[in-house]
Amino acid sequence: MKPILFSLHALLPTALVCLALANASVLSAQQPANTTEPLWPDGIPGVTLTGVGDVPELIITKADSDSPTAAVVILPGGGYGGHAMGHEGYEFAAWFHSMGMSSAICTYRLRGKGNDGKGYGHPAPMQDAQRAIQTLRARAKELNIDPNRIGVIGFSAGGHLCSTVSTHFADADPSSADPVQRVSSRPDFSILCYAVLSLGKPHTHKGSQRNLLGDNPDPALLASLDTPTQVSENTPPTFLFHTAKDTAVPVENSLLYYRACVDHKVPVEMHLFNDGAHGLGLAKKVDGANQWPSLCQTWLTRLGMVKP
């Protein structure tokens, strides 16, 4: 009897396919279902282009609940030049879903692709983030969301955008033909993760400032987007997370915002850790910093956003 010979090369494609299917199954099990839709379905103000980067979207993940839930707009970082969609986008949509909260990742316009390669600076990102909050609030019944429990979370430059919409609000216009504009953009809570908050300061992340405002911004505009100076009594309850070893966006950004919240009697909680570089996301592999998600969940529970 001749021995049966197996070819490794013949088996390899099948093995790779099986591995890919297994990985896909794991990912699909971890990532809840979502829907993607344009943020401005009737046209973006001042934009007629429809190429990559021109059409901001909402990636909506609905919680499974018989009663209305809290919701959050997710603003991934990327220096106002890109979107860190994995560890600062989809992973957080899954995290909020596990807590019974709905979410919407907002792919806001930025200084990347789009606008025939020119990209978008201020006020486009702010307009998109404000619109995202308003959209969830205006469609609260449809999405099974409590319109009074809608917050925002941002990371790095997305954290700056998060702080911007937490200090600059699009007021409700009851007479607007657009139902989204009939509600306010003020978030009910704000979560700032290793956020770029100060502009025009020695500890500013220069790349984010340049992408947002250009090389020589108007001093008044620059000052208006230095968000620790924009905190007021109307700023929503705020949670901050940062690390001392973040050399890209120094911890001074969070310290100043925290101080401003205290001075204006804004409910605020801040957690600082020594270890961990910039861009940690959920910080699963960093001892110390990996406590921040559970601390944040406890904070959200105290706010009434998450069930105990």
CATH number at residue 98: 3.40.50.1820
In-domain check, residue 72: yes
One-letter amino acid of 119: G
In-domain check, residue 13: no
Query: Which region, left, alpha or beta, applies to residue 39 given φ > 0 means left and ψ of -120 to 50 means alpha?
Result: alpha
Q: Is it the case that residue 174 has pLDDT exceeding 90?
A: yes
Distance between CA atoms of residues 118 and 163, nearest Å: 25
In-domain check, residue 200: yes
Q: Which domain holds residue 80?
A: 33-303
Tens of pLDDT, residues 70-127: 999 999 999 999 999 999 999 999 999 999 999 999 999 999 989 988 999 999 999 9
Strand 238-243, strand 69-75: pairing:
unpaired
In-domain check, residue 20: no
Q: Please give the share of the chain, as a percent, with pLDDT higher than 90.
A: 87
Edge-first strand order for the sheet with 238-243 is 35-38, 57-61, 102-106, 69-75, 145-155, 190-193, 238-243, 268-273
Tens of pLDDT, residues 120-149: 999 999 999 999 999 999 999 999 999 999
One-letter amino acid of 126: M
Tens of pLDDT, residues 232-282: 999 999 999 999 999 999 999 999 999 999 999 999 999 999 999 999 999
Q: Is it the case that residue 4 has pLDDT exceeding 50?
A: no
In-domain check, residue 172: yes
In-domain check, residue 2: no
Q: Which of 193, 225, 194 is nearest to 209 (CA)?
A: 225
Distance between CA atoms of residues 3 and 1, nearest Å: 6
The pLDDT assigned to 20 comes to 44
Q: Which pLDDT band holds residue 19 (cuts at 50, 70, 90)?
A: very low
User: Which is higher by pLDDT, 57 or 16?
Assistant: 57
The pLDDT assigned to 10 comes to 42
In-domain check, residue 25: no
Between CA 186 and CA 28, with CA 156 as vertex, the angle to 5 degrees is: 85
Q: Is it the case that residue 14 has pLDDT exceeding 90?
A: no
The pLDDT assigned to 308 comes to 87
In total, how many domains does the chain have?
1
Q: Is it the case that residue 3 has pLDDT exceeding 80?
A: no
Q: Please give the share of the chain, as a percent, with pLDDT higher than 70.
A: 90
Distance between CA atoms of residues 248 and 268, nearest Å: 24
Distance between CA atoms of residues 223 and 200, nearest Å: 7
Q: Is it the case that residue 12 has pLDDT exceeding 50?
A: no
- The mean predicted confidence, pLDDT, of the chain is 91
The pLDDT assigned to 31 comes to 81
If you average pLDDT over residues 279-308, what whole number do you get?
96
The pLDDT assigned to 11 comes to 42
In-domain check, residue 189: yes
Q: Which of 96, 14, 29, 110 is nearest to 63 (CA)?
A: 96
The pLDDT assigned to 117 comes to 87
